[in-house]
Chains A and B, each alone.
Chain A
Amino acid sequence: SAVISQKPSRDICQRGTSLTIQCQVDSQVTMMFWYRQQPGQSLTLIATANQGSEATYESGFVIDKFPISRPNLTFSTLTVSNMSPEDSSIYLCSGSSGANVLTFGAGSRLTVL
């Protein structure tokens, strides 16, 4: 299965700023997803990152707040815009090559002050 790397692994940011998280996969994957995990909670799907087109967002998540890019089959970025302390979470990237197994990165832990 694919190996997924995320950068940064953690960051501390100031309120009102934006942070872009990068997700790199070691092989081409057909599907890529971004999840959020708030402290003590389960994972919530933010969006499906579509290669060459706009991401598909889940209910409660909007493009202006979480713009996503996916320029090719091995790379995607998630930006958390105009951050507030409520955005403090772990953000996880995942991908699938169609082999029925979704692989996850280790996550990017974001703290907003």
Chain B
Amino acid sequence: DAKTTQPPSMDCAEGRAANLPCNHSTISGNEYVYWYRQIHSQGPQYIIHGLKNNETNEMASLIITEDRKSSTLILPHATLRDTAVYYCIVRPLQGAQKLVFGQGTRLTINP
């Protein structure tokens, strides 16, 4: 599986957009970019995934660069409840569906 690189921690003010970067320079053509988050004492929660086009849902937006070597997760209006560890994971669409977690980014939303 391709590996990802994320900053270990980030801070963001409540109400502002939180932009979380992820590098995945060795991503293969059949691998998707997934984002999960883990709020303290809970299991990981799916946020969004994409292949090459930008994606948006009710939780976040995912911007993938044209060369697919990096991506950014955007939380448009961060709230205190968005404080969590955010994991960027690359995973093939077919075959083994397991997720291999890196260390993630600890995002702290400040009032």
Q: How large, as a class, is the contact surface on chain B?
A: 20 to 34
Q: Distance in Å from the Cβ of B34 to the closest Cβ of chain A? A: 8
- Cross-chain contact of A106 among B32, B43, B85, B98 (Cβ < 8 A): B43
A33 with B43: CB separation less than 8 A: no
Within 8 A of B (CB), among A18-77: 30-31, 33, 35, 42-45, 48
Within the assembled complex, what's the spacing in Å between the Cα atoms of A42 and B41? 13
A100 with B32: CB separation less than 8 A: yes
Within the assembled complex, what's the spacing in Å between the Cα atoms of A102 and B45? 9
Q: How large, as a class, is the contact surface on chain A?
A: 20 to 34
Which residues of chain A are near B45, meaning CB under 8 Å?
Answer: 104
A42 with B103: CB separation less than 8 A: yes
- Cross-chain contact of B97 among A31, A42, A92, A106 (Cβ < 8 A): A31
Per-residue 0/1 for B20-60: is the Cβ within 8 Å of any A Cβ (1 yes, 0 no)? 00000000000010000000011111100100000000000
User: At the interface, is chain B mostly helix, strand, loop or mixed?
Assistant: loop
A45 with B43: CB separation less than 8 A: no
A105 with B97: CB separation less than 8 A: no
B98 with A104: CB separation less than 8 A: no
Within the assembled complex, what's the spacing in Å between the Cα atoms of A101 and B101? 15
A101 with B46: CB separation less than 8 A: yes
Within the assembled complex, what's the spacing in Å between the Cα atoms of A98 and B44? 18
Within the assembled complex, what's the spacing in Å between the Cα atoms of A1 and B102? 24
Binding site for A on B (CB under 8 A): 32, 41-46, 49, 85, 87, 93, 96-104
